[in-house]
Structure 1
Amino acid sequence: MAQDLEWFAIAEYCRAGVYGFVDEHASCDQIVSAISAASRKDLYVASSITCKLASSSVLDFRRIFANMDLGSTDISKLSERELETLKLVAKGMSNKAIAQSLFISEKTVKNHLYNVYKKLGVRDRTQAAIAVIKTLCSHQNESFGPI
């Protein structure tokens, strides 16, 4: 995957049906994880790409996601654990990695995500991650710099 991906490009690729993003230095395990996630239509973004994208400005996020219909973006409906899970999804982590990070089973992660989807009115983890980013960006001041 190209080094200079931007959130806009990822959003466009997702609309076209691409769900896995790795860089040219990806390990075999990362590539397998990306393919596995993509086959389930789950978003996988390598942490190296996520770090680069995190430097994008709030204005870029607003421009990209402002008109996307993602159901309710009221994350106040989420339990603390559901929000923790969703934040890790937004970082591009797999269910297995989330489970290990939170010391819970993958089944519990899936249950949390099911509840998140239902509460936010979204269909999948990609839309849920975008919804939380959209919500966080809408609470920022216009003059706030890069995330």
Structure 2
Amino acid sequence: MTTTPIRVLIADDQMMVRQGFTVLLDAEPGIEVVGQAVDGLDALAKVADLAPDVVLMDIRMPGLGGIEATRRLTASPDAAAKVLVLTTFDLDEYVYEALRAGASGFLLKDASAAELAHAVRVVAGGEALLAPAVTKRLIAEFSRVTRSARAPLKGRAGDLTERETEVLALIAQGLSNAEIAERLVVAEQTVKTHVSRILVKLGLRDRTQAAVHAFETGLVRPAGPWTP
């Protein structure tokens, strides 16, 4: 039985980065690099032509940068490609904005081949790449410093049930559906149902935006347990 490989587009203005990631990913089973883009506009055009499953998107590129390219790419309800933003530093101020724009997670450019492949598989599978030790700190910090510049939220936290609020808190801590199921002692399918309802009620696109929402609204406090 053969499975369709995960199709990846790499968008970065540095040729060495593009070529290096291409070599690493093409060596991984079940992953295929279908194209490279040199900036945001090039990435949008190639996404339309090549229909990748995952876009590795550099944040800082000339012309149209990664944040706006991500925002345009994920704006359509029919958008299929997941965006994994690339950054040099784990506290890059632009990473937070990329997550708010619709990216499914972020990856450091010095990631190992194993980390790179894992990130692509996680994002392609519909999960958010939210490492608790790094992404939680990132979201919390830039939620604080950009508090006055937030966009209006589509949904209200009060619409969530107590269990949905608990699941949202665990999403923000970086737990997968399987880990949440184990923590709450419920079936993984039950968790998937809760996640789907959370996204619908809050008008959010994916788990990453749900995590951002949790920190922005104060449902989850960075230094302590979640507070409904």
Aligned equivalent of 1:103, options 177, 180, 185: 185
Q: Please, what is the CA RMSD of the aligned residues?
A: 3.3
User: Using the alignment, how far apart are the partners of 1:113 and 1:105 within structure 2?
Assistant: 13
User: Using the alignment, how far apart are the partners of 2:185 and 2:146 within structure 1?
Assistant: 31
TM-score between both structures, scaled by the size of structure 1:
0.68
Q: Any unmatched runs of 5+ in structure 2?
A: 1-86, 224-228
Kept after mapping to 2: 8 A contact 1:61/1:134 = no
Structure with the higher strand share, 1 or 2: 2
Q: Spell out, residue by residue over 1:11-33, the C-alpha distance to the aligned partner (whole angstroms, 9 max, x if none).
A: 32663x7524456688x5x7665
The residue type paired with residue 129 of structure 1 is A
User: Using the alignment, how far apart are the partners of 1:70 and 1:55 within structure 2?
Assistant: 17
Tell me the equivalent position of 2:154. Answer: 71
Structure 1 residue 34 and structure 2 residue 119: aligned? Answer: yes
Shift of 1:78: 0.8
Tell me the equivalent position of 2:138. Answer: 53
Shift of 1:58: 5.2
Aligned residues: 135
Q: Any unmatched runs of 5+ in structure 1?
A: 141-145
Structure 1 residue 119 and structure 2 residue 201: aligned? Answer: yes
Kept after mapping to 2: 8 A contact 1:34/1:44 = yes
Kept after mapping to 2: 8 A contact 1:21/1:46 = no
Q: Spell out, residue by residue over 1:67-105, the C-alpha distance to the aligned partner (whole angstroms, 9 max, x if none).
A: 2x5411x11111111111001111121111111111111
- Return closer, same or farther for 1:119/1:13 CA change in 2, 3 Å cut-off: closer
User: Using the alignment, how far apart are the partners of 1:40 and 1:86 within structure 2?
Assistant: 19
Tell me the equivalent position of 2:19. Answer: none
The alignment-based identity, stated in percent, is 31
> Relative contact order: is structure 1 or structure 2 higher (C-alpha 8 Å, sep ≥ 6)?
1
User: Using the alignment, how far apart are the partners of 1:136 and 1:85 within structure 2?
Assistant: 15
Q: Spell out, residue by residue over 1:118-137, the C-alpha distance to the aligned partner (whole angstroms, 9 max, x if none).
A: 21122221222222222218
